[in-house]
Amino acid sequence: MKPYLRLTVLTMGLLVSVALSAQAQNPDTIASDDVHSFTIKADLMTRGEFRYGGMQEEEPDVVVKEYAAFCMERARLNLNYRYKFLTLRLAPQHAGVWGQQGGGSFRLYEGWARLQSHQGLFLQVGRQALNYDDQRILGSDDWTMTASSHDILKVGYEGHGHQLHLIAGFNQNGERLNGGTFYENGSQPYKTMQTLWYHYDIPKTDFGFSLLFLNVGMQAGDANSYHTKYQQFAGAFLKYHPMKLAFEGSFYYQFGKEEHGIPISAYMASAKASYEDENWGLTAGYDYLSGDPNFNVPAEGMLGLIRHETIRGFSQLFGSHHKFYGAMDFFYMQSYVYGFTPGLQNAFVAGRYNPIPQVELEAAYHYMAIATQIANHSPSLGHELELTASWNITPYIQLVGGYTFMYGTETMEFLKRSNPSRQLHWGWMQLRVNPELLNLQHINKKRH
């Protein structure tokens, strides 16, 4: 039996266990009043951006020489219902650029049901966002207007400091009865995905750790001839938060084969330390993502390029990239020229200051470099400076603005086809409004 089928069978068994556990709850543990809770919360986000040289065109030989300016918006409704062991969420969402042809995208961002037993077992099925640990490997990337969610089945246990989650997903383009299970141009890059995540907070300490294993099935070919190749991620996340200090670190190894059958052997490591006071804070850290000195799959007509024997460029398929590798999103939100995967080194330091409780000022500096050697080019990519100011006008209205400047190197210009001046600018202003529109509670008095 294939790995994802075995995992699906196990998941269905856990599903039955959770359902039976929920039905067989001890009446003495249930409150005498049964409370129905229903809330509606709006989430409106509008952001205007100004860019110069910070994004390259799709054509690898086209260099961005002009300014760009646009406004983006997102409107989301979060509808939540809870009664006894049942929780439901529906979150329809519209996202797009002002004036966009077709009016942008309208979809169901989240739609799931959760069964929770008093023993700590749970089952959650449907479309849902995945946010684990620092969101480096699994994150919703809520900075983007569309954000990301997954159609999955999730079961697990939470209690006594332990959290164990088992996740399974299987994607298809439609209710196709003929043509096999080939999947292409869907909402996700993967055909199948299975995840095992475990977290434990050690009692009477400020230390916690997580273990993660992720199996992803990627397809290549067409409906007449296709195959599925599996790649895996395995690693750990550590956190230690004594008093006002915080230390976090992670390591993940990627292996298996990509969709064209090329073996993968890549890794990433990160470390971060911070100090947080009431009015100010400091953070410093370093990220390393392994790279490859060769190209991935050469473009047609490109001669003399060396194809991978083993892919060593680490890939973050489902992470919240904006949080980590520079606010300009020049890395891991966009590919390098010709499918290049040279990896990344990111050394950073940041500071926060609150002159008044409602206002926060932030500044950050990043030094970027690739993680491999390229002939006739230095590893250095350049320096990035970020300035951000936010104002919490009310608890549900926030105004945020920022400016980022990056001075790139010859290597940056070669790999990303950035502006020849190597001076990249990005400014933005964002308004987010997320009030609670409705909060209803209905109590059924229990009869004795």
Question: In what helix (H) or strand (E) does residue 38 lie, and over which residues does it extend?
Answer: strand 33-52
Q: What is the pLDDT of residues 157-206, one digit of tens each?
A: 999 999 999 999 999 988 877 768 889 888 899 999 999 999 999 998 99
Q: Which residue has the higher pLDDT, 410 or 93?
A: 93
Q: Is residue 436 predicted with pLDDT exceeding 50?
A: yes
pLDDT above 90: percentage of residues in the chain = 61
Highest mean pLDDT among 3-7, 10-14, 88-92, 223-227: 88-92
CA distance 147 to 45: 12
Query: Of the candidates 130, 341, 92, which has an alpha carbon nearest to the alpha carbon of residue 332?
Result: 341
CA distance 199 to 155: 14
Q: What is the pLDDT of residues 70-90, one digit of tens each?
A: 999 999 999 999 999 999 999
CA distance 362 to 419: 27
Q: What is the pLDDT of residues 303-345, one digit of tens each?
A: 445 666 888 989 888 888 888 988 888 777 666 666 678 899 9
Q: Is residue 34 predicted with pLDDT exceeding 90?
A: no
Q: Is residue 252 predicted with pLDDT exceeding 80?
A: yes
First-residue to last-residue Cα distance in the chain = 52
Choose the weakest-confidence range: 5-9, 63-67, 272-276, 286-290.
5-9
pLDDT above 70: percentage of residues in the chain = 82
Question: Which token pair is 359?
Answer: 């206002």
pLDDT band at 410 (very low <50, low <70, confident <90, very high): confident
Question: Which token pair is 205?
Answer: 């300490």
What pLDDT does 418 receive? 61
What pLDDT does 293 receive? 77
What pLDDT does 221 receive? 86
Question: In what helix (H) or strand (E) does residue 3 lie, and over which residues does it extend?
Answer: helix 3-23
Q: Which domains does the chain have, with CATH numbers?
A: 3-25+43-173+187-445 (2.40.160.100)
> Please, are residues 173 and 352 in contact by the beta-carbon 8 Å criterion?
no
Q: How far out from the chain centre does Cα 239 lie? A: 19
What pLDDT does 413 receive? 78
Choose the weakest-confidence range: 211-225, 229-243, 271-285.
211-225
> Please, are residues 95 and 74 in contact by the beta-carbon 8 Å criterion?
yes
**Mean pLDDT, residues 207-220:** 96
Question: Mean pLDDT for the chain?
Answer: 86
What pLDDT does 272 receive? 97
pTM comes to: 0.86
Per-residue exposure over 172-209, b if at least 16 CB sit within 10 Å of its own CB, e if not: eeeeeeeeeebbeeeebebbbbbbbbbbeeeeeeeebb
What pLDDT does 374 receive? 81
Highest mean pLDDT among 3-12, 127-136, 259-268: 127-136
